[in-house]
Amino acid sequence: MKSTSPIIYEQSGRIAHITLNRPDVLNAINEELPSALEAAVIRANADESTRVIILSGAGRAFCAGYDLDIFAESSGTNLGVQEMPWDPVKDFAFMKRNTDCFMSLWRSLVPVICKVHGYAIAGGSDIALCADLLVVADNAQLGYPPARVWGCPPTAMWVYRLGAERAKRLLFSGDLIDGRQAEAWGLGQAVPAADLDDEVDRIAQRMATVPRNQLIMQKIMVNQALENMGLSSTQTLATFFDGITRHSPEGVNFKQRAEAMGWKQAVRERDEGTFDWTSNQSFGESEDSKS
């Protein structure tokens, strides 16, 4: 029987397998997935036999971000979109909770390897970058396209994983990089897609031969270096900004466009740069033609 849970949990010896399980929508994030992910991470850490977690996505992609059928195309308000005037603290509470769930991977005592195939974009990249290691199919696509409109990465992990220069290069453009570029930039290890499963298993099995307490101490030590760089306060700012992007004039126009034309058309216009979200019309479209 096909599982309807957004997360599948399996234990294989010293390795816990956590799989995002919404393959029909490229594992897009709904209301239930973040808390289910956190519960799986807690479960893995509670098992003293667990030394490594492998995080992956079912089907054709790791995770293509938030489910825009729910959060963008559906008419009216939802957990991520309020009526005006909006309450930024209410929005912050919602997004901070999701960020905390994704950061359970970061807080996990044992290391987490994220296996990326297909896409790890938008909210999916927030999840992936909270893991300790990324092993990426060379043809996979990673990035944060909502940086163009309607999003700011709440985990802020692009900064800490890539450094300021490369994080700006991605976030100022919304461009994607493939697995080969991710490896060249030090974001993870790229392998041919056909070899991805075997390589992740090889790394996990190697790490699983290390005593659990040794793995935990190494992870805490490395993560603390980034914590000392202000990770928590940066995430607070980023999460507030993410709410603002969805309730700015441009963000409201994007939501209305998604409702009217469908989210795929709105995203296409966003990513191709063919729509002016400030004036709420296509570039080059006159007011006369608009009317």
Q: What is the pLDDT of residues 90-111, one digit of tens each?
A: 999 999 999 999 999 999 999 9
Q: Is the model's pLDDT at 239 over the cut of 80?
A: yes
Q: Is the model's pLDDT at 291 over the cut of 50?
A: no
Residue 76 in tokens: 């009216």
3 state SS of 239 = helix
Q: Is the model's pLDDT at 287 over the cut of 90?
A: no
Residue range 11-38: mean pLDDT, rounded:
98
Structural domains in the chain plus CATH codes = 7-247 (3.90.226.10), 249-291 (no CATH)
pLDDT of residue 1: 54
Q: What is the pLDDT confidence band of residue 3, given thresholds at 50, 70 and 90? A: confident
Residue range 270-284: mean pLDDT, rounded:
94
Residue 213 in tokens: 């307490």
Q: What is the pLDDT of residues 109-142, one digit of tens each?
A: 999 999 999 999 999 999 999 999 999 999 999 9
Residue range 19-47: mean pLDDT, rounded:
98
Buried b (16+ CB within 10 A) or exposed e, 93-125: ebbbebbbbbbbbbebbbbbbbbbbbbbbbbbb
Residue range 32-57: mean pLDDT, rounded:
98
